[in-house]
Structure 1
Amino acid sequence: MGKINNVTVFILRGLSQNPKVEEVCFVLFSFFYMTILLGNLLIMLTVYMGNLLKSPMYFFLNCLSFVDICYSSVTAPNMIVDLLAKKKTISYVGCVLQLFGVHFFGCTEIFLLVVMAYDRYVAICKPLHYMTIMDQDRCNKIMLGTWIGGLIHSIIQLSLVLQLPFCGPNVIDHYFCDVHPMLKLACADTHIAAVVDTANSGTIALGSFIILLISYTVILVSLRKQSAEGRRKALSTCGSHITVVIIFFGPCIFTYMRPNTTFPGDKFVAVFYTIIASMLNPLIYTLRNAEVKYAMKKLWCRKVFWEASWCHA
């Protein structure tokens, strides 16, 4: 029997159905999204213009900021508009494209965080060979690999949904289109699709998290051989990475390690890995990194307040 699709439009329930709460959320998430754009663009500009930030670590940080902007832009603008809309609708095509974008950029970010942990491992545990191991050509190939990995993952997720028939209802209890909420609406047995989704998304999230924990444990143990100044600098850098990992991976694992099971609170948990993490990344990496703060100050002084006396103090 061929696939039958009677549904051409989905209705997103959003974060809340209370108009007062939606107005507050509109202001809050508009601020969050503007912070994501401005914060990550500032980091990208600082890395691009700053002569002191030419190491592989800042190359990957620059890429992370770009991915964060793309990742949050897949869901946040549509969610913000829907908060004031009377009817929150999205076309079938728009829904599957949003699902593709969420998993493409989300998985790319996961692989990128693993790469950043490896970069810190090489820098701290093999400092004399760091620039040889992490040369620009290898960094470019690694970055290409993260994009390809994200693409393969998102194609698998997309194929799970495209093969399913949707004949109604068409109300998705979420603020964006994702695999689990859409599987609940399919008029077919979705058990296998749910297991494949968990085996794919869940394994990537949990497996990467375990790899990251092992990597940072090895790094922290190796710091005993470093000087006091070296330990302080390494702890500051690794501390920011670990903070990002916890904020991003905790909600991801909670969401995608449960086959064919959804909770009403899933959409609030999803806010952390789709919006909050992308907003906090620039703050975490700048406030905990003296080199980035110094480069930002130099850039700000040179480009905006060139003639101001306090810049030369």
Structure 2
Amino acid sequence: MPLHSLNHFKSVFIYDIFIQPADQNYLTARFLRVIGMHQDFFWHAQQTLEKLFKAGLVLNGVSVKSKSHELTKLLPIYEETLGSDAFNSFDKPKKLKAELWSDTSVKDFVTKISALGSADARYGLVGYQSSKDDLFKLDQLVFKLRQRTMGLDWVIGEDFRAEENLQHFNGKTYREFIEQNPTEQIRHLSIPYQELKSIGENTQDLFHAWNFEFQRKSSDIDKIAPGAIAPELAFSLSRIDALLQNIEAFDGFDKEFVPEGFKWLLDNVKVSSHWKKMIETYLSESKK
């Protein structure tokens, strides 16, 4: 993907570091809640919110390099940074039955997810209590946080490319876009597609399917498995590594801002010592 501005660089790399992993945590959280694995639901919900809070903060000018993992510490910083554009209240979905909804503040819900998604909860040191509307509130909060994982004052068509659905917002800020399109997500959410019929009819079938160690019956092993069980080829590439190792191959890539982009990354996001060293080496060599 050709990158054409410093803010576009920020957007793409924060997508890789925070937003895409948050999407995976969120999809996993929903699956776990549906099958009744509540403790792990809260863990993945906590991971989802932490990453989305940090993405929204760093793309709106706040370094998250030394920010806490605790949602209760991230929330007030997020609200102060985004001001009136921060999501501040839940609304019961129109088609949801009233008995499945409770009046809960965003602060109280985030506090609950923070507590029940903590290490103590994950290791069974504390109990948990689910509410009927946990999933519906998570859905609503994730949607709004994810929608705000862009610089609110970035200019469409300048800081990032205006896709077809954004053409009539060319020259306007992203803040203006979400104000006028509160139900839109401009970042693609990749949802894996997998037929479930081959697995079985319930979660026990899921556990025993193609499980040669915890065998239940021969038909669990004999049925045809989806390709994801044993793929011939499944991999992903680090965009940082690809850029550092093969920067000249990026056609249409404005290399002028790349050193500045990597410096911004080191200043604002905590990366491992390996990647820190790799990036610092690149920055040092780029000055020669």
TM-based fold match above 0.5: no
Q: TM-score, normalised by structure 1?
A: 0.31
